[in-house]
Chain A
């Protein structure tokens, strides 16, 4: 069966520090991969979307970047965190047009 792992679950980082959140998928190949940010009252904002290795679509301008070094690995990064980067980040995968499956999320607090 397919599973998705996202870590860490919580993270507190100082302003200006780098960020790396990792997401891996097991039990499937060539998934579509997503990074979302969930904010109260604003739903799930799609940040990055990937259909294959090295193929990243950025949906909103921001201080973050994403990479897909392997088929089932999706990394969310920042060189220098801002206070406004605080939030709840969700990784997800899907196959084609089918439903998406979500990771447990990462609560990021930038202090």
Chain B
């Protein structure tokens, strides 16, 4: 069965600091990878996704993620965060061989102090 783990439950940082959120998955086959974000009081929305091709994926709001197949990782990064990046971030995985069932990590709450 596929599973997803996010290393940090809470991250606190100041504006303009760099952000990196770890995500590892356990599934041996071909996977699709996603990062979702949930801003306070809002729905989950997609930040970026990886299906194939360039392992460095750029998403909305200056976020990017790198798929490292050998490490089963898909870490999310942003070089310089803003107060408005305060949110909860979720990594997710699905795989065609697993029926495209979408499995989420535990989430990371990010607080950006102004």
Contact = CB atoms under 8 A, between A and B. Distances in A.
Interface of A: 32, 34, 36, 41-46, 49, 51, 57, 90, 92, 94, 96-97, 99-100, 102-105
B32 A46 contact: no
Q: Would you list the 3 A-B pairs with minimal beta carbon distance, nearest first?
A: A43-B106, A44-B104, A43-B107
Contacts, number: 56
B34 interface: yes
B41 to A, nearest CB: 11
A96 B49 CA distance: 14
Interface in B68-105: 90, 92, 94-96, 99-105
Nearest to A4: B43
B48 to A, nearest CB: 10
Interface string B13-41: 00000000000000000001010000000
Contact of A46 (B6, B90, B96, B103): B103
A104 B96 CA distance: 27
B101 A97 contact: no
A100 B9 CA distance: 23
A42 B43 CA distance: 17
